[in-house]
Chain A
């Protein structure tokens, strides 16, 4: 029978990695040719981070590394050594959606939901830099991620609703 995929990766050099994911320190060994996205999905079974293109274009794999939104498909897991990684699984408090997630639901910002975690992570990082108050700013903040289902209307509305709710105060 095949090996358990949770421990398998590639067929080349294996290294020890430690980093923090959603506040929890993790240590594991990884094949050096495995991306951060694959480590999250396969080894840590954090499957909310999706792979839509594996070449940096769609944004489905976006996670926050050391405070910055990045493509986890274009980062070797080895490059995350010692980093602080945040994924979509870290957003909600238990079963309670955070404000951005709730705004997505309220404004129908998702259909199939495959792109959703990438948008959430890009926006979470962006909103920490300051509020998004105009439609143009919202579109710019969304432009690094692709959604094939929604036509972006619900996404724009969700982001703008936060500015309205928070009296234009920066989030977090």
Chain B
């Protein structure tokens, strides 16, 4: 389980990093926290000729939290974000989702952006980013573009990031007032990737749901937006009947495949259950919504 040989680059500035990525093209991989990349190198599942370590770039550390929202830069570690009380207050769903990612020792190194870029279909953060309506900022040498989370995840382990591009920032807009959210999951053990996870956000207007975003992890190659469940709750009071309707239509259009951990049928069913339960959590958090 030793990595194949590679060349190691530690650029000192973002500019330098982007130039390196442009120059090295497909032969290079970005090294952020290394918590997914290093195991893959160890198993020799991948053997890039070059690693570009972005750990030295001070411009990519930390995050910005203001009225507009939260901008998480590429080297912000999962655990720093998790432990920040202001982020927890403004984005409880993000806090809840990160707490499900592995263990503290891994979150101490793993980055939020790395998890997003890695795009594991069973990972918590990609689904959470879709639920939060995040935007991915991609930079390349001499260029920059923004991709909405919903378009960013293309297939398992495949995103809109193109050769030469770096995900420099994940931008999460400030939640609308009256909005709340939660993240629930079923996994074999605490800290495992999700068998099924649900990231749900709801905006309340009085006692009714003005808008909802309900996204499932682990049920499709990319985060699955449970559109039918969203439609089932919008404009309604979150009473038990509404919750049940949301549960039963959550898996509409979802066709998870079987694997040795669980059949697709299991995932469909549990996704529905978690959708109902997350709405239940939301209505207990948001007094106005509890019918």
Contacts and interface: CB of A to CB of B under 8 A. Distances in A.
Interface of A: 10-13, 15, 32-33, 35, 54-56, 59, 62, 68-71, 73-76, 78-79, 81, 122, 126, 143-144
A126 B107 CA distance: 14
A144 B190 CA distance: 9
Interface string B1-40: 1111111101000000000000000000001001100110
Nearest to B39: A55
Nearest to A53: B1
B38 A74 contact: yes
A10 B79 CA distance: 32
Contact of B39 (A10, A56, A59, A76): A56
B2 A79 contact: no
Given A32-B8, A33-B4, A69-B105, 18 more contacts: A10-B2, A12-B6, A32-B51, A56-B38, A59-B103, A59-B105, A68-B79, A68-B108, A74-B39, A74-B106, A76-B31, A76-B34, A76-B53, A78-B53, A122-B105, A126-B104, A143-B191, A144-B103
A133 to B, nearest CB: 18
Contact of B43 (A33, A35, A55, A68): A55
B35 A74 contact: yes
B109 A70 contact: yes
A126 to B, nearest CB: 8
Nearest to A68: B108
A56 B39 CA distance: 7
B7 to A, nearest CB: 6
Contacts, number: 85
A13 B3 CA distance: 13
A69 B106 CA distance: 8
Given A55-B43, A74-B38, A75-B34, A144 B106 contact: yes
A5 B4 CA distance: 19
B42 interface: yes
Contacts of A62: 105
A70 B42 contact: no
Contacts of B8: 13, 15, 32-33, 76, 78
Contact of A144 (B2, B42, B43, B104): B104
Nearest to A81: B10
A13 B7 contact: yes
12 contacts: A10-B2, A12-B5, A33-B6, A55-B43, A68-B79, A69-B105, A70-B109, A74-B38, A74-B39, A76-B38, A143-B191, A144-B103
Output the residue of B7, B8, B51, B79 with the most chain A CB within 10 A: B8
A33 B5 contact: yes
Contact of A79 (B7, B53, B108, B190): B53
B2 A33 contact: yes
A2 B79 CA distance: 43
Nearest to B104: A144
